[in-house]
Amino acid sequence: MAVVGAIALFTFAGALDARTAHINLSSEIRIAIQSGADQLGQASSVLAEVPPENADAAETAIKLALIDTFRVVMIICAGLAWLSALMAMLLVESRAAIKSSTPKTLG
């Protein structure tokens, strides 16, 4: 799960950068938003410093970056679930196969 968390942080940072690229923000605010990316939702704590005309766009960008991150994490988790189901299907023997392979006692 630690790998998924690292992927989530990496994805959020990239999505946040992409989503805020078109917003007119100062470099200080952009750096502050990116520095909060390692805490996922805490990037919104910088919104108080964003100029009012860009505050809504910045808040929306942060929310959409969280959604993008959640989507990637869910796709990874769904893939892992399918992989585990496939491995179980291939590796776990059925009860019928176990009964037919046990030796019968002569008696």
Among 77, 53, 92, CA closest to 1? 77
pLDDT digits 0-9 by tens, 12-55: 999 999 999 999 888 888 888 888 888 876 777 788 888 889 88
pLDDT, position 50: 86
Query: 55 or 82: whose pLDDT is higher?
Result: 82
Give the CA angle between residues 100, 105, 107 to the nearest 5°.
140
Whether the Cβ atoms of residue 19 and residue 65 lie closer than 8 Å to each other: yes
Whether residue 107 is predicted with pLDDT greater than 70 in this model: the reply is: no
